[in-house]
Structure 1
Amino acid sequence: MNDPSFAVSRSIDAPVARVWDAWRDPDQIRRWWGPQGFTGTTAEVDFREGGTTLVGMTMKDGPEFFNTWTYTRIIDHDRIEFTSRFADETGAEIDPARMGMPPGVPKEVRHVVAFKEHGEGTELTVEEFDYEPGPMLEQSRTGQEQVMDNIAALFAAT
């Protein structure tokens, strides 16, 4: 696997098992999925190697955007690897250019999510691959930072 385009980490105030469940449980995914200004709407989870999860998010009074996460490797409570693609509400893949996305948005983005025990909490790291340097990479990094803030807030409130 080549080097990641970027990595984002957060210290989460919860044990690994609880943070792990936030990536498997549809109710929790809907609570943290999406950057600022978006609300998670859909989470149809098939959490197994070869399985695909369909996630959706929307802005207030805006269209719903969908992605799929197809899992390529899962190591229990340690690592999740998946490929993300833009999709329609049925999970059928959509080319980002057809959605009006600017050049530089890859058709698929590989992710590695790592969970590491850190005292009584968890060090959560998400790496994204396959972006070319440029504005879309920076936009994706900003979005991932905001998603990680949402995950941290999910556990700060419990």
Structure 2
Amino acid sequence: MTVISMDTNPEALSMTLVAEFEAGVERVWQLFEDPRQLERWWGPPTYPATFYKHEFVPGGKASYYMTSPEGEKSHGWWEFTNIEAPRRLEFNDGFADSDGNPTGDMGSAHAAVTLESVGERTRMTMLSTFESEEQLQQMVAMGMEEGLKEAVGQMDGILAEHANA
């Protein structure tokens, strides 16, 4: 498993995931930059994502949906607030309607992703911060911790394909 640790801190209104990959920083960065690769791992294995908008520039927006095993679609949005390729990515995110417009349901969160070299490997730290303790607890109750671990766990397979190509 790629995930080294997952820490939820109600006092700091945060959730931090740390993972390491057998790939260089630039290669791991591509898993965020390329929407076709991003949708192969964003979301748990049973809820695959489809990104139909992906403006990967500061101020750009991304729109996607995850499809449940029953075929139901849950929509989400990102707004990229900082991109320092290939080391740091920040975005706000939340739930959206079927047109990709933010619904305001459960507020929004802010994610900061940092990639750093650790020898031949890459360490990824994903820090999500929330607006309130209630929002954080709602996300935990919805299964965000396990879902994020499962999603990130899919990154190894994608990276291995390209390593062997």
TM-score higher than 0.5 here? yes
Counterparts in 2 of 1:28 and 1:44: CA distance versus 1, 3 Å: same
The letter of the residue matching 2:109 is V
How many residue pairs were aligned?
148
Q: Give TM-score, length-normalised by structure 2.
A: 0.81
Most deviating of 68-77 and 137-146 = 137-146
Where does the alignment leave 5 or more consecutive residues of structure 1 unmatched?
97-105
Query: Are 1:123 and 2:127 an aligned pair?
Result: no
Cα shift readout 1:96-127 (whole Å, capped 9, x = no counterpart) = 2xxxxxxxxx3101000110012112111111
Most deviating of 85-94 and 73-82 = 85-94
CA contact (8 A) 1:9 1:148 kept: no
Write the mapping of 1:63-74 to structure 2, written as runs, cut at 5 A.
Answer: 63-74=72-83
Query: Are 1:109 and 2:113 an aligned pair?
Result: no
Identity of aligned residues (%): 27
Cα shift readout 1:7-65 (whole Å, capped 9, x = no counterpart) = 11111111111111110111101111111421122342100110011122101232111
The letter of the residue matching 1:134 is Q
Instruction: Measure the CA separation in 1 of the matches of 2:73 and 2:90.
Output: 25
Instruction: Measure the CA separation in 2 of the matches of 1:4 and 1:51.
Output: 25
Of residues 137, 142, 150, the one that matches 1:134 is 137
**CA positional deviation for 1:135:** 5.6
Of residues 83, 86, 93, the one that matches 2:95 is 86
User: What's the RMSD between the two structures over aligned residues?
Assistant: 1.9
Stretches (4+) displaced over 2 A: 133-139
Q: Give TM-score, length-normalised by structure 1.
A: 0.84
